[in-house]
Amino acid sequence: MYGVAEGEKVLSLGPIGLDGKEVFTIPGEGLCAIVHGCPATPYQSTDENTVIQWVRTHQSVLDEAQKKFGTVIPMSFDTILQSKNEAVSPDQAVRDWLKEEAGRLLSLMERIRGRDEYGVQIFYTPRVIASRIAETNPEIRQTREEMTMRSPGVAYLLRQKVEKAVRAEMERRANDWFKDYYARIKRHCADIVVEKTGRTEGSKIMLLNLSCLVTRDMVKDLGAELEDISNTEGLTVHFSGPWPPYSFVARPAIPVGEVVR
């Protein structure tokens, strides 16, 4: 299963699925599931390139479905559904599932209608920020000047004091930036998920990592806001999308990589 769209259209999207499978829709309850027929076994491969191609194909099917249907609830790659009763056909199993999940799916549809997911990451370069702090903070600048007039032992202690003060000021600024930039970005989003910020990029440290649900007519405003933020010395902004709104589906409709019966 690739996703669920609005409407009860019976439609073939052609042989665009994983491994060239025919992708089609199964309607029910004012919705239609976008699927292809497959064995009730998770997709697995020891070949990394094969897995990458599967994931890309899954994404391309969702892209095509969005063109045809507008709003699509995305399912994660390797989402498979099978009836508990072997006498029930695969198509009927999907219709039964749509009936059972209709209320939740229709609610999700309203939440994401006319909106896409975008990724926003903001990085800062400690070396650049530290240099700027040392130049502009009066107390730190004075201590650095004093170092040149002291003995090596005293200068060493003063250098440690400067480094400690710079780190503390950088942490304070990072905390202020997080609050400020989050608030500025949030103004242009219908919803935000704060993601983990453990990743570094060369000499840069990630300050903010957000998944943003953005109404399509607000994307330009968000882009302008991010461009303004990127003009801050020592900061880099990554803005990606649009993506299917995976982060804003409250819980997986079907556990990823499992066959649900």
> DSSP string of 199-233?
-EETTEEEEEEEEEEEEGGGHHHHHHHHHHHHTST
The whole-angstrom separation of Cα 228 and Cα 89 is 55
Q: Can you name the residues that pair with 165 across neighbouring β-strands?
A: none
For residue 70, pLDDT beyond 90: no
β-pair type (259-260, 80-81): parallel
The whole-angstrom separation of Cα 92 and Cα 164 is 66
- pLDDT at position 255: 41
pLDDT in tens, 207-246: 899 999 999 999 999 999 999 999 988 889 999 999 889 8
Query: Which tokens is 68 given?
Result: 């045809």
pTM of the model as a whole: 0.76
Domain boundaries, the chain: 3-113, 116-246
3-state secondary structure of 106: helix
pLDDT in tens, 150-172: 666 666 666 666 677 767 777 88
**Residue type, position 89, single letter:** S
The whole-angstrom separation of Cα 13 and Cα 11 is 6
pLDDT in tens, 246-255: 888 854 444 4
Mean pLDDT of the chain: 85
Cβ-in-10-Å burial (0-12, 13-18, 19+) of 20 comes to exposed
pLDDT in tens, 24-60: 999 999 999 999 999 888 898 999 999 999 999 999 9
The whole-angstrom separation of Cα 56 and Cα 61 is 9
Instruction: Say which residues have a Cβ less than 8 Å from residue 76's Cβ, sequence separation at least 6.
Output: 246, 252, 256
Question: Both ends of the chain: CA-CA distance in Å?
Answer: 14
Query: Which tokens is 244 given?
Result: 């299917």
200: left (phi over 0), alpha (psi -120 to 50) or beta: beta
- pLDDT at position 26: 96
**Residue type, position 240, single letter:** S
Q: Please tell me the least confidently modeled range out of 106-110, 127-131, 156-160.
A: 156-160
CA dihedral 51, 57, 58, 63 (to 10 degrees): 150
HSE, CB side, 13 Å, CA atoms: give it for residue 14. Answer: 7
